[in-house]
Chain A
Amino acid sequence: MAKELRLMKGNEAVAEGAIRSGADGYFGYPITPQSEVLEHLMMEKPYEKTGMVVLQAESELAAINMVYGGGAAGKKVMTSSSSPGISLKQEGISYMAGAEIPGLIVNVVRAGPGLGTIQPSQSDYFQATKGGGHGDYRLFVLAPASVQEMFDFVKLAFDFAFKYRNPAMILSDGVIGQMMEKVELSDYIPRWTDEEISKMSSSWATIGKTPDRERNIITSLSLNPNDQEVVNIRIQAKYEKMQNDVMFEKINCDDADYLFIAFGFSSRICQKSIDLACAEGIKVGLLRPITLYPFPTKAIQQMLGQVKGILSVEMNAGQMIEDIKLAVEGKVKVEHYGRMGGVIPSPVEVFDALKQKIIGG
């Protein structure tokens, strides 16, 4: 069968990815720059094609709690928003992590703090990778760098969410969400039947207590501190296991003397900066974390004998650099370069920063 190719926006690719990965429900609320996710879904009417539920909620709070409720019934459900909306969702995300509920949250990041601007940013790295809401928890975080990955990562994120019974996040940004690229669409995966859900999840999901089992209770509450600690230990062990699924991409790294580390759209800028460096005879590689949690700590450590310095390129004030420094343990120089407030750095700027902060510094 011929490949199904389409020119589409990153946000539309998320919506299409949801329909084709057999999602059961999407619950959203409009916010720039991600409203096309809900708009595309409403236009496509998946409820007529696959039976997928699409609902515009009254708030981000309601939307994430719909995801909590649906996920707690073993359904493949998701929401999307942008930074201020994701802040509102943190309560629900924390409950989902505490009650160990699978689900997908897409953040098409814009610059903050506060209402900030609708222009793209990567300033929600801390929020995405360190928990975000209250309590000790982590999300499985994927960072797409292309419209194709916006499409592909929806299925991938659902897979990890159910593998770990934990919320997963796609941490995108306003560039990837808004830009248009060619996408190769994969075939439709059918939605799970009631029987399949029952087979997979009847040990925990609230799908109706049948006589053959005890009732299933979804809760993140423990009145006894010792009981709560048991939960904490269990979920921490789960986060530890996520290390087995770490994903990253290495570009031009084989004989690199210097290294860019960048995720999402910043990694695309760095690829151009590598070309500029190459023209001047400077060998620079790029390590792109695809999973931000789990973080590719070992992959970075393996580069330390080879490279003389690392530049962390992020569209923020320097967030991922903290995880890089933890991996590097002071063995080579690590600096940050980034622009804030929705300003996108140019490849020339990034190359200049490498020369000034790492090569000449």
Chain B
Amino acid sequence: MAITKEDIIKKENLVYSRTKLLTEAPLSYCPGCGHGTVHRMLMEVVEEMGIQSETVGIAPVGCSVLAYDFMDIDMQQAAHGRAPALATALKRLMPNKYIFSYQGDGDLAAIGTAETIHAANRGENILVVFVNNGIYGMTGGQMAPTTLPGMKSSTCPYGRDVETMGNPLKITELVAQLPGAYYVTRQAVHTPANVRKTKKALRKALEYQRDKKRGLSFVEVVSNCNSGWKMTPVEANQWMVENMFPFYPLGDLKVPEE
């Protein structure tokens, strides 16, 4: 007798399942994209800390604009670049809630540079999750502020020419300079070990909020965009390791002195 799907889907065979705080909506991200993993880690942390009813997230324009479809918490959708402004107001008005923004590189480091820098500089006690894949994914692969020198995109089809297009902006390094930034780290989610480190960073950041540490937590996740980069997911991860990591080295940029 042939084995059916029902024979396999049994409680004793379940070793992995959807996180409770992710909804059943199918993710809109391309297969191979890092967003889904970051979503999961963030929601795992919220679940494990038991803070679902106290957490409000903000996702502005970009690939993650529909994050509110996937995260089972109260969420706000912000205009392009403005999430840290919304987060500022939310945290100031509801200081006991956990507030995070979830932003891409175009959003956070181009159109939203002022909001990012000033929220950090004021030391807003929020978490900014920054997913950096060096490209505008949602609009179809245009040059981002973090696009590497020579890297091709639909608006730099011959490669980013730093003479005319400027250099990639290391905004995480800028944020780390500011006295208002409490915890600044750069992680990745392309291997199980890195996924664990990212989760740990997110947990730390939300624990700092819980403990009312004064200042902004900034967790960058260097990620891939296999669709925008026109590669397979495996090639994209390989390319990321070889090209993105040397420019955006992983690790902590600022850790609290405790």
Contact = CB atoms under 8 A, between A and B. Distances in A.
Contacts of B82: 61-62, 65, 68, 92
A331 B198 CA distance: 71
Contacts of A25: 89, 92-93
A217 B68 contact: yes
Contacts of B54: 208
A66 interface: yes
A65 B115 contact: yes
B75 A70 contact: no
B74 A208 contact: yes
Contact-size category for A: 35 or more
A208 B55 contact: yes
A68 B66 CA distance: 18
Give chain B's interface residue range (CB within 8 Å of chain A): 20 to 34
Nearest to B58: A69
Contacts, number: 124
Nearest to A91: B79
Given A24-B93, A68-B86, 19 more contacts: A25-B93, A53-B89, A58-B115, A59-B114, A61-B85, A62-B115, A65-B78, A65-B79, A66-B89, A69-B86, A70-B90, A73-B90, A99-B77, A207-B74, A208-B73, A208-B74, A208-B97, A217-B76, A221-B66
A232 interface: no
Contacts of A215: 68, 72-75
A220 B79 CA distance: 9
Of the listed residues A66, A70, A75, A211, the one surrounded by the most CB atoms of chain B closer than 10 A to its CB is: A66
B216 interface: no
B74 A217 contact: yes
CB-based closest 8 A-B pairs: A69-B86, A65-B85, A219-B77, A66-B89, A206-B74, A58-B118, A70-B89, A65-B82
A209 B74 CA distance: 5
B114 A58 contact: yes
Contacts of A63: 85
Contacts of A61: 82, 85, 114-115
B7 to A, nearest CB: 35
B77 A221 contact: yes
B79 A77 contact: no
Contact of A72 (B76, B92, B118): B76
